A and B are shown apart, each in its own frame.
Chain A
Amino acid sequence: MAGLSETKGPVRRKKLKTNTGAGYAFLAPALLFYSIFFIYPVIFSFIVSTKRWNMLVPLSRARNVGFSEYSYLLRDQMFLGVFRNTLVYALATVSLTIVVALVLAVLINNAKLSVLWRFIYFAPVVTPQVAIGTIWGYLYRPNNGLFNSILRLFGIKPIYWLTDPNVALWSIIITAIWAGIGGSMLIITAGLKNIPQDYYDAAKIDGAGPFRQFFHITVPLLSPTLLFLTATGFIGAWQVFDLPFTMGRNAPARSVMTVSWYVYETAFQSLRMGRASAGAFLLFCVIFGFTLFILWLFRRGGIKGYE
């Protein structure tokens, strides 16, 4: 089946000719775009990362400092710490979001009122930040928030969800998972719609129950989708900014700050654009390496979807 393997019989061989012309023709707009809006900014930022620049003097007058900003960052406890935070955030958020989204998407797919459920589960994606911040801020409030009130019923001491350095990052992760389920569910749903009903019918005839169907039909056929969600999930999670920035302002920065937040603050509060650019490049290297690792893992696990 397409996506699972590419059958190559003698008849096929003849058809596997390259269509380079068509390939590049279809890629042309994207390539043109990237040469202007990606390559130039990246080169620009790399140059900036070798200078001390506060964005107010012209770049040509900025002092050249070579790679000293890179070495500063690699020796800065704070910067290394925010990498740790971001790694924890990425691992927890991506894995749990995809698992929960997968289960829920499957449950909802053929349920009654599926469009209604799909909308409700998607609501967090369209809910403005201020509403999310208000409600979750209330849920997490130490004195009279909902979570601590429930804990009190069981005689458990109040947890300082957003101010305790040991807990704050996890509180943000929980909210992030809540916020991310909807988008992942939407993509999984699209993937589910691509799986022909034939397979499920055949499996039912063979006596397979819902769980067998899930693990032997649904998951394998969703593997391109799942790979997509995992890869883009991590790429996005490594760059997370909004949620930690708004929810983590009352916790010690070393326990909730993410790399993007650090870069943002370095650039626009400390006006050290060179250091911020260096931080961005270091982040890029980590994301690049991490993504390669994830793809390698997928291939090891026998999951196709990346060629």
Chain B
Amino acid sequence: MNRKKVIRILLEIIRYVIIIFGAFWMILPFFWLFSASLMSPQELMSDVPKWLPEKPQWNNYLQVLKRIPILTYYKNSLIVAGSVTLLVLLTSSMAGFAFAKLRFLGRKILFSFVLSTMMFPVFIFLIPVYYLMKLFGWLNTYLSLIVPFAVSGYGIFLMRQFILTIPDELLDCARLDGAKEFKIYTWIILPLIKPALATLAILTFIGQWNSFLWPLIVTSTAQRLMTLPVGISRLSLAFSTVETQHLILTALVYQVIPMVVVFLYLQRYYIRGFVLSGFGNL
């Protein structure tokens, strides 16, 4: 008895040692970002990264607010990232449900097609999609920032994998009761894949929030639509950004904080899923 307990405690200690050791390396650059945002340009020029500022330059945060219209960028980024996330959640869960639980002709082929949409490097799409935006007249509207990302093969694939784990019996019961597929989707599927939805929401939001190249190209003719990463790039100089490096780092903190908020907020959905007692080993 005693030996087993000792081994168990040892394993627990090893477990936390691993976790903490890993956590240190994971958080290092993130921590440095916050620390560096409070440094002066000189401190940032040092050969070796300094870990703590000599005198916290809280003024950097005010300076950035004055220099670039952060609030406008926040608004634009929020509209774009939020809309895309909602659209992706919707289209991915719908398509994922179809691929996982509905039987129809061509299901396999269509799913392979969806997978293959992920296999092209993004540069290929820049020119033709930009042309489409001009054609539709969306160039100076949020639509050009949102619609081209409304459907994600990655999201569809993710939703499909998670919906696959829902027992068919549950759905068949509902169908026997006369429920239509859409009702099943809304009342059974969606509530059961909350952690997956939260995950997709986080990843999609972050991907859109940090997106740079496409918003840059599109907002170059509509500067009032600039998102955060594009707006921050206005602080950088052609060569040797030393002058504004401290402001850029501070601006990046402004950029990072909402993602942290979204991540922490969505953690509430990482709860244990349904309890399958009664379904045992079917």
Contacts and interface: CB of A to CB of B under 8 A. Distances in A.
- Indicate if A touches B (C-beta under 8 A): yes
A18 B104 contact: yes
Contact of A260 (B18, B22, B121, B256): B121
B125 interface: yes
Please classify the interface of chain A as helix (H, G, I), strand (E, B), loop, or mixed, using the class held by over half of its residues.
Answer: helix
Given A124-B26, A178-B26, 10 more contacts: A15-B172, A18-B103, A18-B105, A22-B98, A29-B91, A44-B127, A44-B128, A119-B267, A193-B270, A195-B273
A260 to B, nearest CB: 5
Given A36-B132, A291-B119, A127 B164 contact: no
Interface in A120-165: 120-128, 130-132, 134-136, 138, 144
Given A117-B19, A123-B26, A197-B275, A19 B102 contact: yes
Contacts of A31: 110
Contacts of B168: 2, 6
Interface string B18-61: 11001101111110110010000000000111000000000000
Contacts of B114: 30, 34
| Majority secondary structure, B binding face | helix
A288 B116 contact: yes
B118 to A, nearest CB: 5
A224 B107 contact: no
Interface stretch (A67-75, A104-112, A245-253): A104-112
B73 interface: no
20 contacts: A2-B166, A2-B167, A18-B104, A22-B98, A30-B94, A30-B95, A120-B23, A120-B26, A121-B26, A123-B26, A123-B30, A126-B259, A130-B252, A178-B25, A189-B199, A196-B275, A198-B275, A231-B157, A235-B119, A307-B108
Interface in B130-161: 132, 147-148, 150-151, 154, 156-158, 161
Given A22-B102, A186-B203, A193-B270, A2 B26 contact: no
Contacts of B102: 19, 22-23, 26
A108 B19 CA distance: 7
B95 A231 contact: no
A15 B173 CA distance: 10
Contacts, number: 265
A194 B270 contact: no
Contact of A121 (B11, B22, B36): B22
Nearest to B158: A228
A126 to B, nearest CB: 5
B256 A128 contact: yes
Contacts of A122: 263
Interface residues of A, number: 99
Contact of B18 (A19, A20, A107, A227): A107
A144 B47 CA distance: 9
B161 A228 contact: yes
B120 interface: yes
Nearest to B196: A190
A132 B29 contact: yes
A20 B282 contact: no
Interface in A1-44: 1-3, 6-7, 15-20, 22-27, 29-31, 33-34, 36-38, 40-42, 44
A255 interface: no
A201 B26 CA distance: 33
